[in-house]
Amino acid sequence: MRKTSFTCHGTSLSGIIGIAALIIISIIFTSAGAAEKQISAVINAGKTGEPISNKIYGQFLEHIGGIVTSNLWAEMLNDRKFYNVIQPQQTGGSRRGMGARGGMGGGRFGGGASWTIIGPNDCVTMDKVNPYVGDHTPLVMLNGAEKRGISQAGLSVTKGKSYTGRVVLAGDSRAKVTVSLAWGEEAGNRQNTAIRRIGPNYYTIQLKFTARADSTNARLEITGTGTGSFHIGAVSLMPADNIYGFKPEPVETLKSLRSGVYRFPGGNFVSAHEWRYAIGNPDKRPPVWDPVWSSIQQNDVGTDEFLTLCRLLEVEPYITVNAGYGDAWSAAEYVEYCNGDETTPMGSRRAINGHSEPYNVKLWGIGNEMFGIWQNGVMPQKQYWIKHNLFAKAMKKVDPNITILCSGAMPDHMTGSELLKMYTGRVYPEYLGKWDWTGGLLKNCLDNIDMISEHYYAYSNQIFDFNEGDRVRVQNQPQIEWARQCAMYVRAKYEHYQKYLELIPEFKANPRPVSISEWAYTGAQTDSQNAVLAYSWAIQEMFRHPDVFKMATYTFATSLLNADGTGLNASRKMFKFYRDHFSSIPVEVSGDSPQPKQEYHPGEGIYPKVNPGSDTYPLDVVAVFSDDKKTLTIAVSAMSVNIYELPISELLLLYQWSIASRSSLPLDAASRLL
């Protein structure tokens, strides 16, 4: 029988209701096998901080696996622009792995050629002399009444649902081409679109089908009869209810989070990404090999699509430019494409692509984790200072109003990534020394930095062994230590930030805020009540320092969705919980139960001197005013109350105090909010 309980016992006021009030909350909980304990949290309404930015709830998207092109993009076909050589039918007609639909098509994510040949194996060749897009285009040789062409199976269709698409064809006028959607083997289980005429020049034909049965193994066939030959330049198929190419269900669900900001396109991906390949006519964007994730990149979801998604989600875009294999000139042209008017070269190109008005993107990151040996284009710190400054100056010359984020790595990241050990044998860098990446940028690039981009990933059931200089797995890690890891990194970055203020006079005179541009728990199933605990603690730690942490983009936005892409999964509703109630003015919270001292290498690398959390151990309490200061909202999060026995309903409790009516309203966060 569950013996754990966790309730807010009551509230009382001390002093005059209003800004000067002290609000005392008594919290009583009982954990299994332990005596009842009462904790007092004191909310000092007279002490407030800077407003909490709504960008704290931001999200991150990157072309890894199906994160973008399967979870959000509505394209149903793999390898629709034929990066791969089409294989004979006997190699298998169904889709394998993620294929190009997931941005893949080989390498570590699996997948391969997704089209197969209808007819003799030699009736389809790949024309490298006159390709429509990319390196080659399928050429189908015809032979009278025999059907020849290509097919892709493994498509899922729903009875009564419509599907739209297009095919780009060229060929002999004597060729008779048919495009078919088949949901069964019988002759009546298909719908055909006969192409009346083709010619020597490529021409786009629109397609529309309506499935008359459910199937998870439907197929699209492009076949021809007659004489001569025909080329297939590109083909696309989507459900007709797509919204500008995106799936409506995840768009609607993610919009409900009101996340504030989305970061794109990477991540490691960006260091080999050519943004100009991903604009303009999507059928003419070349499919390319992505060396970062060893996969095919179809370039269907590029800048214009991302900015359309931001408009649909009502969030601000945050674009990272390629500072790996990229150059400052290209980055400046990227800014001009997004923000220049129609009289500029890149603005004119954007207008030709159907977007006459500038996007006015304000947030621009220069590079991603440029300190890491895993990063394409990595270089020594002293060289990167020069590169960052070249990029920033070139980009701001195009638009002086943009916000430039540098690719930082405070000592916690240099330690936790094990880079320092690899480079030097040490595990903790000296502040402003050769291996303090963020410190070096602040010393040498401060005039070209508006915000510091930082990353962290917490690892399940692992600690950092300073003797060995790497992470080691631990058995039966105490729940409190598991839960505190995400918040621990936030606190460590705050402490490193304070040290930079102390050591760099120019930075103290004109400090720059921090964006945690990637963060998550990894190495465990994080869609659980454990994740609610860990992530809530991290977000509440950001609340405590709103002057430092102005933005955060969680890795990844699509991980907040259920497996079928519809609705929010249980633990990620936590983001909505905070977004709906905490984009306001933080209020000081104290208590009578301090967090335990940090005993494991305090102040070194990933470990802060002071453990995160309010003085209400083992609970964490935060409070905020509404913008008009008429409502005080208090969140109580259970940090260590044997949470394996706790339902989610007892992990997060929300209390709201109406200053006007002098009444408090307890809300069950699980039933009403989670």
Which pLDDT score, from 0 to 100, does residue 526 have? 52
- Is the pLDDT assigned to residue 18 strictly greater than 50? no
- Is the pLDDT assigned to residue 657 strictly greater than 60? no
How does 384-417 read in b/e, with b if 16+ C-beta sit within 10 Å?
bbebbbbbbebbbebbeebbbbbbbbbbbbbbbb
Mean pLDDT for 164-172 is 97
The highest-level CATH class for domain 54-65+244-583 is alpha beta
H/E stretch holding 443 = helix 437-445
- Is the pLDDT assigned to residue 15 strictly greater than 70? no
Model confidence at 476, in pLDDT bands (50, 70, 90)?
Answer: confident
- Is the pLDDT assigned to residue 501 strictly greater than 90? yes
Model confidence at 536, in pLDDT bands (50, 70, 90)?
Answer: confident
Token couple for 189: 């289980």
Within the chain, all domains assigned CATH 3.20.20.80 are found at 54-65+244-583
Cα dist. 553→216, 253, 259 in Å?
A: 35, 17, 9
Please give the mean pLDDT across all residues of the chain: 85
Model confidence at 656, in pLDDT bands (50, 70, 90)?
Answer: low
| Cβ–Cβ < 8 Å for 68, 250 | no
Cα dist. 239→209, 242, 248, 302, 308 in Å?
A: 9, 6, 10, 20, 18
Token couple for 557: 């936005």
Mean pLDDT for 430-441 is 95
Mean pLDDT for 234-239 is 98
Least confident window among 14-23, 95-104, 440-449, 511-520: 95-104
Residue ranges of alpha helices (H) inside 544-612 are 573-581
Q: State how far Cα 641 lies from the chain centre.
A: 31
Collapsing DSSP states into helix, strand and coil, what is residue 324?
Answer: coil
Token couple for 441: 């940028």
| Cβ–Cβ < 8 Å for 612, 545 | no
Pairwise CA distance, residues 224 & 180, whole Å: 11
pLDDT tens column, 543-598: 999 999 999 999 999 988 877 777 777 667 788 888 888 878 999 999 988 998 88
CATH number of 89-100+108-239: 2.60.120.260
For the chain, the C-alpha Rg in angstroms (whole number) is: 28
DSSP classification of residue 492 = H
Pairwise CA distance, residues 175 & 366, whole Å: 51
Pairwise CA distance, residues 674 & 655, whole Å: 14
Collapsing DSSP states into helix, strand and coil, what is residue 249?
Answer: helix
H/E stretch holding 178 = strand 175-182
Within the chain, all domains assigned CATH 2.60.120.260 are found at 89-100+108-239
Sign of CA dihedral 196, 197, 198, 201: negative
For the entire predicted model, the pTM comes to: 0.91
Unique residue bearing structure tokens 């990844």:
556
Which pLDDT score, from 0 to 100, does residue 619 have? 83
Model confidence at 496, in pLDDT bands (50, 70, 90)?
Answer: very high
Mean pLDDT for 155-168 is 97
DSSP classification of residue 430 = P
- Is the pLDDT assigned to residue 652 strictly greater than 60? no
Model confidence at 468, in pLDDT bands (50, 70, 90)?
Answer: confident
Cα dist. 379→384, 387, 426 in Å?
A: 6, 10, 20
Determine if residue 24 is left, alpha or beta; phi over 0 gives left, psi from -120 to 50 gives alpha, anything else beta.
beta
| Cβ–Cβ < 8 Å for 28, 36 | yes
Token couple for 276: 């100009």
Residue ranges of alpha helices (H) inside 219-287 are 248-255
Length of the chain: 674
- Is the pLDDT assigned to residue 80 strictly greater than 60? yes
Q: State how far Cα 629 lies from the chain centre.
A: 33
Collapsing DSSP states into helix, strand and coil, what is residue 518?
Answer: strand
